[in-house]
A and B are shown apart, each in its own frame.
Chain A
C-alpha cells in the first residue's frame, strides 16, 4: 500500500465503481490509460465519475462540472428521495441515469456563473437529504438489531437453526428436570422409609427394653406384699409367684427393687433369698404391670401362690392399682455367642 504513495492520487475515479476489482492493488495504477475506454462505454457511472477527473487534469475544471451538476440535479431531485427510501426497487433510478449522462453535452455552453450559483444549494440539499437518510437508517438499524425484534427480520434458515438450538436446549433442560425430580423422589421416599423404620425400631427397642428390664415402665398393675415372719417361704414359692404372674399376663415386674428379666434367677435359702444374687428381705414386695384382675385371680387360685404361702404361715396382700411404676433396671445381657440369623 505504501508503494502507491508516490503515485499521488491512487484512485482518480469517483466514490465507487473502479474500486471493486482492485481495492488495494496495482490495478489502480493501470486505470489512467483505461479511462478513455471507460468514457466511451455506455455504463453511466464510470463515465460520470471519469468526467471530472479528466476535466480537472486539464486545469479547466469548473464549467463542465457545474453544468452537469445543474442539469442532472433537476431530474434526479424528483426521483431520488423516493429511491433512497425504497432501495428495493432498482428500476426507477436505473433509468434516469443514462439519460442524464448523455444530457450535459449540449447544455455545457450555458452560463457558467449562474450555474455555479444555482448548483450549490441544490447539490447541498441533495447530499444533505441523502446523508440524513443514511444516518436515519443507520440509527434505526442499530436500534432494530439491539431489540429482540431482530428475530423477525432473520431468514428462514437462520430461524430454523435458532429453533433447533432452542429445541435441543429445551430437551436438555427437560432431561435435567426429570433427573432432578427422580432424585428428589428417591430422597423423599428413602427419607420417609428410614423415618418409618426408625420409628419402628424405636418402638421395638422400647418393647424389648421393657421386657428385658433395661428401661423403666409404668402402667396398670398391682402391688403384692408377702410377709414371711417364720422364714418359711422358699425359692420355689417365689418362682411360682413369678411364673403365675407371667402366666396371668404380667409384662414386667420388680421384687424388692430388683427387676425381673428373662434370665433372672432366684436363689438362696428361706430367710436369705436372693434374686440375681441380690438379697431380698421380708416383706417381699412385688410390683407388677399387667391386667390387675387376671393377676389377682391367678394369685388367689386354690392351691396357688396365696394359699400355699398362707399354709406356710406367711401372709399375702394384693393391691391392684391403675398406675404402678417399675423403675428398677437390670443390665442388658449382651449375647456372647448368638448373633442375628440372616436370610429370613
Chain B
C-alpha cells in the first residue's frame, strides 16, 4: 500500500511542480527510472513470493539506480553512452519481463 501511495504521490508532485531536469542529470534520469522500476517489480514479486524484505528492497533499489547510472556515465566517458544505455535498458527490460512473468504466475496462476 505504501509503495503505491508513494508512487501516486510522486507522480502527482512531479506533474504539479514540473521541475526542469538539470542538464548533467538528463542522460541518467530515464535509466535511473527504468532501474528503479525494475527494483519495484522485483519487490512486488518478492512480496507475492512471501519473501519481501524491506532491507533488500531498499538496497536493491538504490544500487540498481546507482549502477545503472554509473554504467551510462562510464559509457558517456568512453564515447559509447548511447549504446550502453541501450544495453542497460535491454537488460533491465528483460528483468522486468521476468519479474512480470513471476507476478503473472502468482496472480493468474498461469
Contacts and interface: CB of A to CB of B under 8 A. Distances in A.
Contacts of A84: 61-62, 65
B70 A155 contact: no
A1 B69 CA distance: 31
Given A87-B68, A94-B66, A135-B10, A17 B51 contact: no
Contact of B55 (A48, A135, A140): A48
Contact of A132 (B13, B27, B51): B13
Given A14-B42, A131-B10, A88 B59 contact: no
A119 B54 contact: yes
A140 B59 contact: no
Nearest to A50: B56
A76 interface: yes
Nearest to B75: A155
A282 interface: no
Contacts of B67: 90
A15 interface: yes
A65 B55 CA distance: 9
B16 to A, nearest CB: 9
Nearest to A143: B18
Contacts of B49: 9, 11-12
B8 to A, nearest CB: 7
A183 B3 CA distance: 66
Given A49-B56, A88-B73, A137-B14, A153 B23 contact: yes
Interface in A136-154: 136-141, 143-145, 149, 152-153
Contact of A68 (B4, B20, B55): B55
B46 A134 contact: no
Given A16-B64, A45-B60, A152 B26 contact: yes
Interface in B48-105: 49-51, 53-70, 73, 76, 81-82, 91, 94-95, 97-99, 101-102, 105
Given A16-B38, A133-B10, A153-B26, A10 B105 contact: yes
Contacts of B98: 11, 19, 23-24
B66 A134 contact: no
B71 to A, nearest CB: 10
Given A5-B105, A5-B110, A133-B36, 18 more contacts: A1-B101, A11-B99, A14-B56, A49-B53, A69-B53, A90-B67, A128-B3, A133-B10, A134-B10, A135-B9, A135-B13, A135-B14, A138-B11, A139-B12, A140-B21, A141-B29, A144-B29, A152-B23
29 contacts: A9-B51, A11-B45, A11-B102, A15-B39, A15-B40, A15-B57, A15-B99, A17-B60, A19-B42, A24-B98, A48-B53, A52-B51, A72-B59, A76-B55, A87-B28, A87-B32, A87-B69, A88-B73, A90-B67, A100-B59, A123-B54, A123-B55, A130-B62, A137-B36, A138-B33, A138-B37, A145-B30, A153-B21, A155-B27
